[in-house]
Amino acid sequence: MATAPSEFVTLVSNDGFEFIVRRESAYVAGTIKRMLDPTSNFSEAVSGRCVFENINGVVLEKVCEYLYYNEKHRNAKDVPDMDIPPELCLELLMAADYLNGEGTILILEDRV
């Protein structure tokens, strides 16, 4: 009998910072969703832990913030801009591209 996946997953940066986020929030990022898919045979699907060797802690923290921001404003109109420091824009854009986040690039495209 298979156990149900945990409600939370752990995202780990290349410098060792760990962020525990709700699984449903993490699914906004297509790459994370595929990594955690039980039919994928990825180790992340079993452990519920995704390590990103190409994303540092500062950027991954902002990604996690976005995951919740997206969930909070999913069906809202006139959504306020998310606070993104200009010095993080390029790294966030690269992380968004890698993670295949729905709408993430739209938030960043007018800032780069």
- Over residues 54-108, the pLDDT tens digits come to 999 999 999 999 999 988 988 888 888 888 899 999 999 999 989 986 555 444 4
Q: Which long-range contacts (CB under 8 A, 24 or more apart) does 2-11 make?
A: 2/38, 5/36, 5/38, 5/48, 6/48, 8/48, 9/36, 9/48, 9/49, 9/50, 10/48, 10/49, 10/50, 11/50, 11/52, 11/60, 11/63, 11/64
- Position with higher pLDDT, 33 vs 105: 33
The arithmetic mean of pLDDT across residues 16-41, rounded, is 94
User: Across-strand partners of 20?
Assistant: 10
Rounded Cα distance between 108 and 5, Å, is 32
pLDDT of residue 112: 45
pTM to 2 decimal places: 0.85
